[in-house]
A and B are shown apart, each in its own frame.
Chain A
Amino acid sequence: MKTLVEKIWDNHVVKMLDEKEAVIYIDRHYIHEVTSPQAFDMLKEKGLQVFRPKKTTATVDHNIPTLKQELPIEEKESLKQVEQLRQNCKDFGIELQDLGSKHQGIVHVIGPEMGLTIPGSTIVCGDSHTSTHGAFGTIAFGIGTSEVATVFASQCVIQSKPLTMKIEINGEIGKYVTPKDVVLQVIAKIGTAGATGYFIEFSGNVIQEMSMEGRMTVCNMSIEMGARGGLIAPDEITFSYLEQTDYWKNRVADFQLQKENWKLLKSDQNAEFDRFVTIDATEIQQLMTYGTNPGTGIPIGSLIPNQDGGIDYMQFKQNESMVGIPVDYVFLGSCTNGRIEDLRQFASIVKGKQKAENVTAWIVPGSKQVEEQCRIEGIDIILKNAGFELRQPGCSACLAMNPDKVPTGKLCVSTSNRNFEGRQGKGSRTILASPITAAMCAVAGEIVSYKEFELL
């Protein structure tokens, strides 16, 4: 009796080093401009080539501007990193989705879109949100630059077998409750280090009914519980998503064949997990974080509990509600919530309304494909009419390595994944929320839940 994680893990063991540690084969390696240059250097220092260049895919996302991408990058250091990646990809024969190419975008948005993230595979990237790809039933996890170099050199990493945790979420989901609210609730329950050492399998009717976009949002934030990764067993929703990707559209026969194998990817009925957690979906409300770690989610309008989650930094007071606090910035985007469904949800709320004057909003699609789809569906027009501007793809204000920085002291309602001190710019204050909540706050100009929003 095995869990899905164990099955995929065992299937990728090249060699056991001892009871726990093994050389693990990596099927897909994604890289970007920030954590790869030093890894290429490590390879060069040893006079090595990339062992399997076709299994690595590169893009630029972390430090690029989200306006005027057709012009040269103004920030010298950012330009240097991007140019270094271009040169390295050329020298080592790696496919690069560069600025201007059809599939450029956030690494965790484009991999699935291109059809490269496939069930049952192992995936790594020098980025902690690699857990996103677990939504397709993969073992996907973030690695540091030294390990990026080991993947270049050998297509393998050395890792210890993770503990397994099952998180089952059952029940009826309430009004305006999105996958982001679901995962914020899970983090609030497990804690920011509660899953350290574990690989999570998400299950239950709430997960089964979610779109792939929603599942990616959930798996994306596994790392915010300290987890090694999080996955969801693939099903018909997974297969129909993949079937429509560029890669699989042109490989119909192969797809049907693969699909039969993918259908077998599930935990055995009586498989034992090291930990089992259940979440009652009926209790999940529209959430928002009040502190400086992602485990501080509370229902909007409830009182900030008496605990130290960074409320001094956030300039909030315990036993007070956040409703009515003016909002300075709204950020819609990131590998957590920069997909087409997120843009659709945001647009559905702001349609026919106007952005509040006191709010600066950054609406950043996760990829070129998402941007293109927004234009096809007229989302760009809806946004424009409501006073918003659709920008160009990148990580943007999620980590503020590019010019999209929230100024010191300003409050930002953000659909990204981390509300750490200074994450969105030095001194910035971040509230994590769903695209729907972000849209409501952008229109209201202050913190609101749907209850206040509907009265506007």
Chain B
Amino acid sequence: MEKFERLISNYTLLETENIDTDQIIPAVHLKSIERINFGKYLFSNWRNEGKLDEIEWPRNGTTNKVLVAGSNFGCGSSREHAVWALSDYGFKVILSTQIADIFSLNALNNGVLPIKISEELYRHLIKLNNTNCQIEIDLETQEVILDSVGKKEKFKISEFKRECLLNGFDTIDYLVSIYSDIENYEQAR
């Protein structure tokens, strides 16, 4: 997995609440047996219906690495394709006041950071939208930083996943390295 330490980027705002994974990527696009090229299907129904601004949501992906979204982002189905689509489109960080559990883990397993932020910071980001404000994400110190307005907020993610992301480690490699522990557990039952 790619390392993640620090990132500075503009952001895209999607003020809708309860954005479910069926919106992120509709089920008809889950028929590929590969993990690549899902970005073109990101929010495909909304984009096709003109619900998303074409300038803000370019056809071929975004240079904004941060998506700021309404509460309960990623609810619904466990499809990891939702994360593959967001990541392929260009997003590496999701900021929301609530992020669904399965989606969060899927994101972390793909080097995408799901960050739960305060309602206050979310309101602030809505206000600052379209002001070319940059967000800094520091995984080492676990902080979201808005330098231009002197704002900082701590966040928390799983310590194991943080180590994985900082070092580019992989969960499978770790689990394979503890096979003897797993076998001992099986025998002790």
Contacts and interface: CB of A to CB of B under 8 A. Distances in A.
A223 B79 CA distance: 14
Given A84-B33, A399-B27, A153 B105 contact: no
A68 B30 CA distance: 23
Contacts, number: 159
Given A21-B160, A127-B78, A144 B72 contact: no
A150 B175 contact: yes
Interface residues of A, number: 59
A450 interface: no
Given A80-B33, A420-B22, A226 B75 contact: yes
A196 B158 CA distance: 16
A423 interface: yes
B161 to A, nearest CB: 8
Interface stretch (B59-67, B117-125, B145-153, B177-185): B177-185
Nearest to A145: B80
Interface in B1-36: 18, 20, 22-23, 26-28, 30-35
A146 interface: yes
A191 to B, nearest CB: 9
Contact of B27 (A46, A141, A160, A400): A400
Nearest to A45: B172
A51 B179 CA distance: 10
Interface in A136-153: 141-147, 149-150, 153
Interface residues of B, number: 46
A192 B80 CA distance: 20
B98 interface: yes
A418 B26 CA distance: 13
A1 B69 CA distance: 40
B106 A15 contact: no
B101 A23 contact: no
A315 to B, nearest CB: 15
Contacts of A144: 78-80, 83, 102, 105-106, 109
A78 interface: yes
A142 B78 contact: yes
B158 A21 contact: yes
Given A81-B31, A128-B76, A146-B110, A193 B98 contact: yes
A197 interface: yes
A25 B172 contact: no
Interface string B162-189: 0000000001111110110110011000
Interface string A63-86: 100000000000001101100100
A48 B177 CA distance: 13
Interface string B74-97: 011111100100000000000000
B100 interface: yes
Nearest to A130: B78
30 contacts: A14-B178, A15-B178, A17-B160, A21-B158, A21-B159, A23-B182, A34-B30, A126-B78, A141-B102, A142-B78, A143-B102, A146-B106, A146-B109, A147-B171, A150-B171, A150-B172, A154-B178, A154-B179, A156-B175, A192-B18, A193-B75, A196-B100, A223-B76, A226-B100, A293-B18, A418-B22, A418-B76, A421-B45, A422-B22, A423-B22
Given A23-B175, A196-B72, A420-B76, 14 more contacts: A14-B181, A37-B33, A38-B34, A46-B172, A80-B33, A81-B33, A84-B33, A144-B78, A144-B80, A144-B83, A144-B102, A153-B176, A193-B100, A226-B100
Interface of A: 14-15, 17-18, 21, 23, 25, 34-35, 37-38, 41-42, 46, 48, 51, 62-63, 77-78, 80-81, 84, 126-128, 141-147, 149-150, 153-156, 158-160, 192-193, 196-197, 223, 226, 228, 293, 399-401, 418, 420-423, 426
The 7 closest A-B pairs by CB, nearest first: A144-B106, A146-B109, A154-B175, A144-B80, A77-B31, A37-B33, A193-B72
